[in-house]
Amino acid sequence: MSTQIPKQTEKTEETAAETETEAPSKGDERRAEKRRRADERRRQREVEEAEKAAADENTVELRVFRYDPDIEGKQEPRFDTFHVPFTKGMTVLDALMYARDTYDSSLTFRHSCRQAVCGSDAMFVNGGQKLACKTQIDELEEPIRVEPLPHAEVTKDLVVDMEHFYDQMEAVEPYFQTNEYPDGELEEQRQSRENREKVKMSTRCIWCSACMSSCNIAAGDNEYLGPAAINKAYRFAMDEREGEDVKQKRLEIIEQEHGVWRCQTQFSCTEVCPKDIPLTEHIQELKREAVKNNLKFW
């Protein structure tokens, strides 16, 4: 399942048939009963909510993408509506947590830090890649549409499979490498302020994958390293402590077929990055470095 599939898909009869052919065990029966109850509760909840919302003006309306390959009735993607009482300072994440804890405990999304450092909750909010915890409700048009990140496999509701993103990040040898360490005990490797300043923004990445999700090239070429991984390579390639021979290797990695040259400078990644990392600029700079480097060997 991918979010690229049009919202109203054909019925997934195959899957349904498969589960039905198995002889129902006690557990299956119990679960089926639970599902029926859950559905009933959901319907009842929707009625209650609608009444409540009508009575109370100060609520926000969320339309949240729902999908669960495991649950009959959720195998076909749908949108559920939640009315959440608005409080000042409320973020999209706060609203989702409220909806989950009050109305529907099966509403599923990743989150942890609530302060834009863990990178768990990048989502598609009103048509843009956002960190839910860093997006204020009162800056959004209602109803607020919340969907999983586009161009990724949806695991369930707002949770997407991150494996591909992690694979790309790890493909660029994302660790510091150097051949020279200082002699003295407790001696650090010196780094100039300018150089630290140069890599600073690139080290702020929280692996949220918003950039990858926004990138047309990545959507079309599954092997493209993507903005975050290239930025990670930049972080090391530009670090003066690594030394020339390591840099050489790094440039080879980012120059590969699915590397920097794929980027068509559309800036979508830079626009969505919640950490304001100038991704496109970094990619451009690496392209220039690569050209310079190739000229050296002419």
Partner 1 sequence: MYEHDVVVVGAGGAGLRAAIAAQEEGADVAIVSKLHPVRSHTGAAEGGINAALRDADSWEDHAYDTMKGSDYLGDAPAVEALCKESPEEVIQLEHWGMPFSREEDGRVSQRPFGGLSFPRTTYAGAETGHQMLHTMYEQVVKRGITVYDEWHVMDLVVTDEDDPTDRSCHGVVAYDIQRGEVDGFRASGGVILATGGMGQVFDHTTNAVANTGDGVAMAYRAGVPMEDMEFIQFHPTTLPSTGVLISEGVRGEGGILYNEKGERFMFEHGYANNDGELASRDVVSRAELTEVNEGRGIEDEYVHLDMRHLGEERILDRLENILHLAEDFEGADGLTEPMPVKPGQHYAMGGIETNEHGETAIDGLYAAGECACVSVHGGNRLGGNALPELIVFGKRAGNHAAGKEMGEPEIPTGKTGDWESAEYEFEVDVGTVGDRGPAAADGGAVAADAEGLLEAEIERARERVEDLLARKGRNHAEIRSAVQETMTANVNVFREEEGLKQSLEDLREAREAYTEVAVSDPSRTFNTDLIHTMETRNILDIAEALAMGALARREFRGAHWRKERQERDDENWLKHTLISWNDGEPELWYKPAILEGEAKTYEPKVRSY
The residue ranges that bind ligand SF4 (CB under 6 A) are 205-211, 227-228, 231, 272-275, 277, 279
Of 148 and 259, the one with the shorter C-beta distance to ligand FES is: 148
Nearest to 147 by CA among 257, 212, 223, 64: 64
Q: Does 30 bind partner 1 (CB under 8 A)?
A: yes
Of 132 and 272, the one with the shorter C-beta distance to ligand SF4 is: 272
Of 111 and 258, the one with the shorter C-beta distance to ligand FES is: 111
Strand partners, 122: 131
Question: Which of the stretches 7-15, 81-89, 117-125, 141-149 binds ligand FES when contact is defined by CB under 6 A?
Answer: 117-125
231 binds, among ligand SF4, partner 1, ligand FES, none (CB under 5 to 8 A by kind): ligand SF4
- Residue from 12, 81, 90, 150 in contact with partner 1 (CB under 8 A): 90
Q: Does 249 bind partner 1 (CB under 8 A)?
A: no
Of 16 and 54, the one with the shorter C-beta distance to partner 1 is: 16
CB of 119 to partner 1, least distance (A): 7
Q: Does 114 bind ligand FES (CB under 6 A)?
A: yes
Binding mask 123-142 for ligand FES (x = CB under 6 A): --------x-x---------
- Residue from 80, 94, 104, 121 in contact with ligand FES (CB under 6 A): 121
CB of 210 to ligand FES, least distance (A): 10
Q: Which of residues 93-132 bind partner 1 (CB under 8 A)?
A: 94, 100-102, 105-106, 108-120
Whole-angstrom distance, CA of residue 284 vs CA of residue 265: 8
Of 62 and 269, the one with the shorter C-beta distance to ligand SF4 is: 269
Q: Which of residues 93-112 bind ligand FES (CB under 6 A)?
A: 111-112
Give the other-Cβ count within 10 Å of 236's Cβ: 24
Q: 3-state SS string over 46-113?
A: HHHHHHHHHHCCCEEEEEEEECCCCCCCCCCCEEEEEEEECCCCCEHHHHHHHHHHHCCCCCCCCCCC
Nearest to 49 by CA among 3, 16, 6, 80: 80
Of 122 and 230, the one with the shorter C-beta distance to ligand FES is: 122
CB of 286 to ligand SF4, least distance (A): 14
CB 241 within 8 A of CB 187: no
CB of 97 to ligand FES, least distance (A): 10
* Angular region, 207: left φ>0, alpha ψ -120 to 50, beta rest: left
CB 138 within 8 A of CB 117: no
Of 120 and 231, the one with the shorter C-beta distance to ligand SF4 is: 231
DSSP assignment string, 127-148: TEEEEGGG-BGGGSPSSEEEEP
Read off the amino acid at residue 213.
Answer: S
CA angle 46/49/50 to nearest 5° reads: 85
Of 71 and 117, the one with the shorter C-beta distance to ligand SF4 is: 117
273 binds, among ligand FES, partner 1, ligand SF4, none (CB under 5 to 8 A by kind): ligand SF4
- Supply 259's token pair: 């590397």
Q: Does 87 bind partner 1 (CB under 8 A)?
A: yes
Nearest to 247 by CA among 193, 227, 255: 255
Cα 121 to Cα 94, 102, 203, 205, 227: the distances in Å are 12, 20, 19, 14, 18
